[in-house]
Amino acid sequence: MSDKMILQYLKKAQMTHELNQNELTALLSDTTIDDTLAAAADQVRLKYVGNSIHLRGLIEFSNICRQNCMYCGLRRDNLHIERYRLTPSEIVKLAEKARRYGYKTVVLQSGEDMYFSANILAEIIKQIKEMDMAVTLSIGERSYEEYDLLKKAGADRYLLRIETTSKKLYEALDPAMSFNNRKSCLFNLRKLGYEVGTGCLVGLPGQTIESLAQDILFFKQLDADMIGIGPLIPNQNTPLAKAAKGDFTLTRRMVSLIRLLLPEANIPATTAMETLKADARIIILQSGANVVMPNVTEGDYRRKYALYPGKICVADTPAQCRSCIGGKIKSIGRYVAADKGFRQHQPRLT
Let me know: does 45 contact 288? Beta carbons within 8 Å. yes
Name the 3-class secondary structure at 23.
helix
Which of ligand SF4, ligand SAH, none lies near 60, with the C-beta cut-off 5 to 8 A by kind? none
CB of 203 to ligand SF4, least distance (A): 15
Nearer of residues 177 and 313 to ligand SF4, judged by Cβ: 177
Nearest residue to 104 via CA among 131, 137, 139: 131
The string of DSSP codes covering 238-275 is STTTTSPPPPHHHHHHHHHHHHHHSTT-B-B--HHHHH
Packing angle, helices 3-16 and 21-29, rounded to 10: 120
If the CB atoms of residues 9 and 158 are measured against ligand SAH, the closer one turns out to be 158
Q: What does 75 interact with, of ligand SAH, ligand SF4, none (CB < 5 to 8 A by kind)? A: ligand SF4
- Interface residues toward ligand SF4, by CB under 6 A: 65, 67, 69, 72, 74-75, 111-112, 140
Q: Are 8 and 27 in contact (CB under 8 A)?
A: no
Pick from 122, 313, 131: nearest CA to 139: 122
Smallest gap from Cβ 189 to ligand SF4, in A, equals 16
Site for ligand SAH in 64-123 (CB under 6 A): 71-72, 109, 111-112
Shortest Å distance, C-beta 74 to ligand SF4: 4
Q: Is 274 in the site for ligand SAH (CB under 6 A)?
A: no
272 part of the interface to ligand SAH, by CB under 6 A: yes
| Shortest distance in whole angstroms from residue 44 CB to ligand SF4 | 30
The residue type of 259 is R
Binding pattern for the stretch 131-170 against ligand SAH, x by CB under 6 A and - elsewhere = -------x-x-------------------xx-x-------
Please report how close the Cβ of residue 119 comes to ligand SAH at its closest, in angstroms: 20
* Between 17 and 75, CB nearer to ligand SAH: 75
User: How far apart are alpha carbons 285 and 114 in whole angstroms?
Assistant: 35
Least distance to ligand SF4, CB of residue 238, Å: 9
Shorter beta-carbon distance to ligand SAH: residue 88 or 205: 205
**Residue 254, exposed/middle/buried by CB under 10 A (0-12, 13-18, 19+)?**
buried
**Rounded to an integer, what distance in angstroms lies between the CA atom of residue 148 and that of residue 274?**
35
**Minimum CB distance to ligand SF4 smaller for 233 or for 329:** 233
The DSSP code sequence of 199-229 is EEEE--TT--HHHHHHHHHHHHHHT-SEEEE
Q: Which stretch binds ligand SAH (CB under 6 A): 22-30, 230-238, 288-296, 334-342?
A: 230-238
* Residues 6 or more apart in contact with residue 286 via CB below 8 angstroms: 38, 42, 332
Rounded CA-CA distance 213/265 in Å is: 17
- Name which of ligand SF4, ligand SAH, none residue 160 binds, using a CB cut-off of 5 to 8 Å depending on partner kind: ligand SAH
The residue among 108 and 128 lying less far from ligand SAH, judged by its C-beta, is: 108
301 binds ligand SAH (CB under 6 A): no
For residues 287 and 256, the answer to whether their CB atoms sit within 8 Å is yes
- Spacing of C-alpha 249 from chain mean position: 17
CA dihedral 232, 194, 293, 72 (to 10 degrees): -30
Report the partner that residue 232 touches, choosing among ligand SAH, ligand SF4, none (CB closer than 5 to 8 A by kind). ligand SAH
Q: Which residues bind ligand SAH (CB under 6 A)?
A: 71-72, 109, 111-112, 138, 140, 160-161, 163, 201, 230, 232-233, 235, 272, 307-308
